[in-house]
A and B are shown apart, each in its own frame.
Chain A
């Protein structure tokens, strides 16, 4: 027997029915609007060098919200970039061939070095308002967030089952519909997880982005990073502690209010239906929100508005539909024509080559000003920093590999520690650098070795995360087998845990080394308590060149660092990764 199905009864609107959750939503909404307005105000504020930073506690919430707004704006831009990039790279083979290597390079070079150029350019575009400086800060955060998002989206699109694509095509979906209803949902999980990583990565250079010196000019934006840097300048220890606490509070709030709910929500967009093996993530915020009635009502209202709008727009639709094809006919025909397409592609290639050549020429002019002595200096510094980076990788591995194996082996431990580690890892390590260095000075360790420890702080988490997830993914049967054959503890590590973790360890090394190179720029050149401490190295060379506005040296340093990082990635890490996958990969 078929039971009659009724639509869920709709209650008449009225505020009496709204619950606690709705009140919370309204409050949150109000807070967001207030923040956006205040931030927009800040954007529009007249440009002033070295904004006075108020070190009182009462000013800190405002600063925190400013910094958060920058991070969120950058993340939104990063998402737009990722969608555009992934789409272009999947749809056009030429774009794929050009964009992928470009991204590969962009994500491995220290973008911090481009800050001076970016700031000067944007500030000269908006000389009277704060807009230029704000945009520069947002763009710098963007450069730390965008690349892995773009790669994740591209990867998801590439691995989309052909039959699903075919189904959408047979259904007659337009490309835009397929994009929003197939491609983006299928990539949603990767986009959210990578967004989480991106957000954390974006905070890394927060202090530098919000407060830095270029020559004799002092650029400063109100925010938690500049607050910290002013507190450091003045040696104000309570303010430093407050800044760190505020940062932690912000990270925890964003994690709980934004990422947790999103992670739970995107479970819905899982493509493989079987993958329910792991523990189902939960979010109290999402549970709470799901109880709210307001969103449902807003959705209903929105549907009604849309329907009205469509009805109202219908008279306009016909002329548009008639005109559209006429306008588009010529480009469409040109696009189909093989010769026209070839010419177009050729023109695009020439344009790209011209831009690249121009860039190379400008760079060459800058670098050409460097003498032999400068190059010797650069190379010697690079060798020093290189050994520090490697030292940092070794040191990080020394603690993170065993710790990762121990945590990954026990699901209980992993579940308990994962949120904690996530928050700790999101904390921008450079904010701690001055404190660590002051501590080292007490014990009598110089910056030469101290910088290695700082670079460990910058890179260690990637190794830990990767090892934990690799060990946690070891099939239970393998663990059972080692137990059944009574392998002694040492042998279990040697024959099971370490080999299984190795491919992930190499991936961790790549990112950790990248983090350490980036970190070297702020680790080898530190101002704390009003005094400057430097040690010889490529990072300090770059920082120094920035402060003294020595652009040829800056360009040379950045170019050299990019070359080393990209070359090392290509030659050493990649072959090591391939070997590790072939030899120790668990998937046969």
Chain B
């Protein structure tokens, strides 16, 4: 099938959220994207890049703060009737049977009586759930539940099927099985579904499903690159063409996730990635076991069993401490990294302390503490919000405290909500109060 006319279009869409602490996050900034008839579009990118937000905008579940979403040239006003949606957490009503859940969307579309029963039976048959009509969701496994989710979406014979990480909550085997069924459903004219938009975390999944892959960047979310995927269906995951495509997408994502540091402005404040001490040492440990102490970031993610944006955060953390360098998508252990892994615990803490003191964000915080002795959490959080408006600052703050404590630099009094230098004389007095 070849892509046809434009079906759905986002025009210069900007979407903001207000966090409970009052901070305003920009989930999407000036995003424009068109989805055509008969195509499968995959949206990929690190978490928090607004790809799910864009999907909700397409569904008409939210409305953009700026810009517009058009369906066949008409501005979308309310929920898009031509679309159906599949959710990561299945979103089935536990008190309705499978058949009732599948029938959810039919009533509002005026399908009644025998026609409704037929539509339900057909949808259930399409996903292979015959015999489970009267079961309750809690009696089904995760894969079966998601089949119900697909049946519910297919029952209304939607023009567009929107999927928000539909296989994210399933085990790998079930996910693979369901994935190829989705391709079959799309290619089967009986379903009537011509267009798919899928948000996914998995590179292989995107290459397997999509004819066009849209890569998002974060902080704030924006479209970074679009990649055409001309491989013929059905796609074979072991074929060289497939793997070449996966590598290309990996390379693009790596450039998105691990941008080459800007050479100028060395004192620019960069947020410290929100990773744990143990994760960074775990990465270094793993690199030591590899020949030459290096490897591509995606291979590392696979070996260590974490998803790629988590892995890249850990790599960035190690990079800021000078323990790895990242030429291209390769992660390379440095001599400093090797040294630190050879040390005992106390020496490692000393080395971390030396490195952290030079990290611009920590350096700034330490200067502030030296001057004032102790600082209220609130004050630090407020400063962080100003520097990094697009990051949830509470978790950044928690990361700073964890690293500061590990490196024996900082002391945090959780009861009083106060941050100070470790060994600062005032701390004991204030605690005694």
| Distance in angstroms between the alpha carbons of A50 and B95 in the assembled complex | 51
Residues 354-385 of A, flagged 1 when their CB comes within 8 A of B and 0 if not, give 00000000000000000000000000000000
| Interface residue from B56, B87, B109, B138 paired with A167 (Cβ < 8 Å) | B87
Instruction: Please indicate the chain A residues that have their CB under 8 angstroms from the CB of B109 in the complex.
Output: 172
Contact A270 B94 (CB under 8 A): yes
Q: A163 with B91: in contact, given A169-B61, A172-B81, A172-B108 (CB under 8 Å)? A: yes
B128 to chain A, nearest CB (A): 11
Contact B91 A161 (CB under 8 A): yes
Contact A166 B131 (CB under 8 A): no
In chain B between 68 and 109, which residues have their CB closer than 8 angstroms to a CB of chain A? 79, 81, 83-85, 87-89, 91-96, 104-105, 107-109
Total A-B residue contacts, Cβ distance less than 8 Å:
69
B186 to chain A, nearest CB (A): 19
Residues 539-582 of A, flagged 1 when their CB comes within 8 A of B and 0 if not, give 00000000000000000000000000000000000000000001
Instruction: Please indicate the chain A residues that have their CB under 8 angstroms from the CB of B91 in the complex.
Output: 161, 163-164, 166-167
A273 within 8 A of B: yes
B272 to chain A, nearest CB (A): 22
| Distance in angstroms between the alpha carbons of A378 and B94 in the assembled complex | 55
| Interface residue from A3, A161, A177, A582 paired with B89 (Cβ < 8 Å) | A161
A299 within 8 A of B: no
Contact B87 A166 (CB under 8 A): yes
Contact A172 B89 (CB under 8 A): no
Contact A181 B61 (CB under 8 A): no
* Chain B, Cβ-Cβ closest to A271: B94
A95 to chain B, nearest CB (A): 18
Q: A169 with B95: in contact, given A2-B130, A273-B138 (CB under 8 Å)? A: no
Instruction: Please indicate the chain B residues that have their CB under 8 angstroms from the CB of A185 in the complex.
Output: 93, 95
B404 within 8 A of A: no
Contact B93 A170 (CB under 8 A): no
| Interface residue from B56, B93, B133, B138 paired with A166 (Cβ < 8 Å) | B56
B340 within 8 A of A: no
Contact B108 A174 (CB under 8 A): yes
Contact B95 A269 (CB under 8 A): yes
A168 within 8 A of B: yes
Instruction: Please indicate the chain A residues that have their CB under 8 angstroms from the CB of B87 in the complex.
Output: 163, 166-167
Contact B88 A170 (CB under 8 A): no
B163 to chain A, nearest CB (A): 12
Residues 405-418 of B, flagged 1 when their CB comes within 8 A of A and 0 if not, give 00000000011000
In chain A between 185 and 229, which residues have their CB closer than 8 angstroms to a CB of chain B? 185
Q: A172 with B79: in contact, given A166-B61, A167-B85, A167-B104 (CB under 8 Å)? A: yes
Residues 1-24 of A, flagged 1 when their CB comes within 8 A of B and 0 if not, give 011010000000000000000000
| Distance in angstroms between the alpha carbons of A174 and B79 in the assembled complex | 11
Q: A170 with B59: in contact, given A2-B131, A273-B137 (CB under 8 Å)? A: yes
Residues 45-73 of B, flagged 1 when their CB comes within 8 A of A and 0 if not, give 00000000000100101000000000000
Residue with the greatest number of chain B CB neighbours at <10 A, chosen from A163, A167, A582: A167
| Distance in angstroms between the alpha carbons of A268 and B94 in the assembled complex | 8
Contact A171 B104 (CB under 8 A): yes
| Distance in angstroms between the alpha carbons of A583 and B84 in the assembled complex | 46
Residue with the greatest number of chain B CB neighbours at <10 A, chosen from A3, A172, A271, A582: A172
| Interface residue from B56, B93, B107, B156 paired with A164 (Cβ < 8 Å) | B93
A173 within 8 A of B: yes
* Chain B, Cβ-Cβ closest to A172: B108
Instruction: Please indicate the chain B residues that have their CB under 8 angstroms from the CB of A269 in the complex.
Output: 94-95
Instruction: Please indicate the chain A residues that have their CB under 8 angstroms from the CB of B107 in the complex.
Output: 172-173, 177
A182 within 8 A of B: yes
| Interface residue from B93, B95, B105, B152 paired with A172 (Cβ < 8 Å) | B105
Q: A5 with B85: in contact, given A166-B59, A166-B91, A172-B79 (CB under 8 Å)? A: no
| Distance in angstroms between the alpha carbons of A2 and B89 in the assembled complex | 29
* Chain B, Cβ-Cβ closest to A185: B95
Instruction: Please indicate the chain A residues that have their CB under 8 angstroms from the CB of B415 in the complex.
Output: 582-583
* Chain A, Cβ-Cβ closest to B153: A170
Contact A273 B94 (CB under 8 A): yes
A140 to chain B, nearest CB (A): 35
| Distance in angstroms between the alpha carbons of A231 and B88 in the assembled complex | 64
| Distance in angstroms between the alpha carbons of A334 and B87 in the assembled complex | 34
* Chain A, Cβ-Cβ closest to B61: A166
Instruction: Please indicate the chain B residues that have their CB under 8 angstroms from the CB of A174 in the complex.
Output: 108
Instruction: Please indicate the chain A residues that have their CB under 8 angstroms from the CB of B59 in the complex.
Output: 166, 170
Residues 219-242 of B, flagged 1 when their CB comes within 8 A of A and 0 if not, give 000000000000000000000000
* Chain B, Cβ-Cβ closest to A269: B95
* Chain A, Cβ-Cβ closest to B56: A166
Instruction: Please indicate the chain B residues that have their CB under 8 angstroms from the CB of A3 in the complex.
Output: 131
| Distance in angstroms between the alpha carbons of A185 and B131 in the assembled complex | 26
Using a CB–CB cutoff of 8 Å, the interface residues on chain A facing chain B are: 2-3, 5, 161, 163-164, 166-174, 177, 181-182, 185, 268-271, 273, 582-583
Given contacts A5-B131, A167-B152, A172-B81, 14 further A-B contacts (CB under 8 A): A3-B131, A166-B91, A167-B85, A167-B91, A167-B104, A168-B104, A169-B79, A172-B105, A173-B104, A173-B108, A181-B93, A181-B96, A185-B93, A270-B94
Closest 6 CB pairs of A and B: A172-B108, A171-B105, A167-B91, A163-B91, A171-B104, A273-B138
Using a CB–CB cutoff of 8 Å, the interface residues on chain B facing chain A are: 56, 59, 61, 79, 81, 83-85, 87-89, 91-96, 104-105, 107-109, 130-131, 133, 137-138, 152, 156, 414-415
